[in-house]
Amino acid sequence: MRKAFISPTKYVQGENEILNLGYFVQSFGTSALLIGHPDDVNRVKDKLDATAEKFGITFVESGFKGECSRQEVARLQAIAEEKGCHCTIGLGGGKAIDAAKCVAQGEALIIVPTIAATDAPTSHSAVLYTPEGAFDDYAYFKQSPSVVLVDTTVIANAPTRFLVSGMGDALSTYFEARATAASYSRVNASLPMGSREGLTAPAVGTNAALALAKLCYETLLKDGAKAKAASDSNMVTQAFENIIETNILLSGLGFESGGLGAAHAIHDGLTILEGTHHFFHGEKVAFGTIAQLVLENAPTEELHEVLDFCLEVGLPVCLADIGVDSITREELLQVAEKACIPEESIHSMPFPITVDEVAGAIIAADRIASEYKARREAK
């Protein structure tokens, strides 16, 4: 059996860690193309100036326009070539990070997330959009980032909603990896890095990936609420540090090397409903996780444990919580159909999938969660 595991070369996390960014740039050369939204760059400008002076390196600011499009990637690559940059830095949230991945093409890449809202920083994939912001395509590179550098002081000063959304994304990691392992499905670590030619077979996940995914879930239950309290106070505590590691590293390695299942596919289906557009990725994935547990008829105790966690940290548990106050049968079937297209991860579940069953799981999950939430609030 062919197995695969993929990870960044280095993961470093700590308070004021951006002050050490120049050290890692120095391992590639003396200059780095800096890709980040101007607001994110300005938030850490003092640290960038300090590390550049200390380590004798130069940041070439790119004027990132905010969209990871083919045109923007080409513009950024031209700047990197013209200025002779030795490495690429993606600083900020998802689109700046994805743009940096596309510019670097798997070489000499440093990722510096300023929020912990998703598990994208460690992965070897990116999402491309049109200049207008519509989805274009997925991109995969030959390796994950060279360095992921996480400054917990910066993340502690970001809005708490980002951290909680990251917990929603991380919440799905174990349940999706568990399902993928049970079905021996191909995992993201074996997706094409160039041509598929020459590969004998797609790879399945490793025991290590499943163990990390399980630790991801266990740490959420143990430290999630305490980390949220620290974030509300803009403070770094041990629980907060643990959840940053959970949201970014454990979830990142768990999803990419452990696989995705129904939760993310249901998230993708939900995006056709306009009411969901104002909610973050992880917030919708949290509901997708509850729907996956209903779809696979998970034990009631496990479902209640997940619901208790979501309600404790403030994650959505029902459709109304993600902006869907009502849904017609036609809309429900459209959501389920999108979740079930052939290339979706829902087909990694260890049993056959039908559109009607997915639609039923979504409605049942909504009702179960709504009633559970009402009973808790009534106590």
Active site residues: 169, 264, 267, 281
Segments of the chain assigned E as strands: 10-14, 31-36, 58-61, 87-92, 109-113, 125-129, 135-140, 147-151
Q: Is 213 helix (H, G, I), strand (E, B) or coil?
A: helix
Distance CA 158, CA 291 (A): 29
**The tokens of 224 are what?**
């999630």
Q: Is 302 helix (H, G, I), strand (E, B) or coil?
A: helix
Distance CA 370, CA 84 (A): 56
Q: Which residues of 93-127 are buried (b: 16+ CB within 10 A; e: fewer)?
A: bbbbbbbbbbbbebebbbbbbbbbbbbbbbbbbbb
